[in-house]
Amino acid sequence: MNNKPIGIFDSGVGGLSVWKEIVKTLPNESIIYYADSANCPYGPKTVETVQELSLRIVNFLLEQDCKIIIIACNTATAAAIKMLRSKFNIPFVGLEPAIKPAAENTKTGKIGILATEGTLKGNHYKKTSHEYANGLDIYTQIGEGLVDIVENDNIDSDSALELLKSYVEPMLKNDVDNLVLGCTHYPFLCDTIKKIEGADKINFINPAPAVAIQTKRVISGLECDNKSPYYKFYSNSDISTLKKIYSKITPSELNTEFIVVD
């Protein structure tokens, strides 16, 4: 048994969609989460900048004695996971656009990818789309502004709905039936997307459950036997949205601490 915590990081609060699945799949594990909200969003940033930010966060999580690190950010995975694996002797689990399940489940042969600019430019996207979606029609959309909507807790606003309409309605007109959520912030927008006429027929593909399963597989033999796991959330910016989303997705009282860092 290894009672060291699992480390998770994201550009902000979006990685809570992954955190939720990790807690469900590995309920005895303690988790340390780092939200880099001061530098959010990552999508428009250069590869070099995202690598630098990721490296800084990983060093912080290693100081907290994490045994594995989950990159709960598609953009950071695309830009930095290869570099991080070359520098550190610790397991990393990242995200990639969940094109395979979308391709397997589509009935129209048309799938949508809603993702950040950094994700759509990354090799992970190019590789998975080539490998699993050959012969299918893929409609991609950069979700500019969506991360900020979640970070600023404007999910239920009229402006959020209008922006999402501009992104999703063209896909609906093209008969897209599976929508890949290519950013960990986007699952928190699903209820708003469902308000768009016709969107109730879309199957949302959220990669977070698969990340939790992969994490369980990677740490096999290093599982924690802690009956009272703890959860620490660090942020280098305002922590109110992090707390609010946490309270929405957490069904019971947990041993939780929120900490603001420089």
Collapsing DSSP to helix, strand or coil, 54 comes out as helix
- What is the spatial distance between Cα 246 and Cα 234, in angstroms, rounded to a whole number? 13
Residue 47, CA distances (Å) to 52, 122, 153, 195 in order: 9, 9, 27, 35
- Our answer to whether residue 224 is catalytic in this structure is no
Using the 8-state DSSP alphabet, how is residue 69 labeled? E
Exactly one of 40, 183, 190, 224 is catalytic; name it: 183
**Pick from 16, 6, 5: which is nearest to 153 by CA?**
16
User: Is the sign of the CA dihedral 216, 222, 248, 187 positive or negative?
Assistant: negative
Collapsing DSSP to helix, strand or coil, 252 comes out as coil
- Strand bridging mode 110-115 / 178-182: parallel
β partners of residue 211 = none
Burial 78-90 (b: 16+ CB within 10 A, else e): bbbbeebeeeeee
- Our answer to whether residue 66 is catalytic in this structure is no
List CB contacts of 64: < 8 A, sequence separation 6 or more: 5, 7, 32, 232
Collapsing DSSP to helix, strand or coil, 233 comes out as strand
Exactly one of 66, 73, 190, 224 is catalytic; name it: 73
Give the active site residues: 73, 183
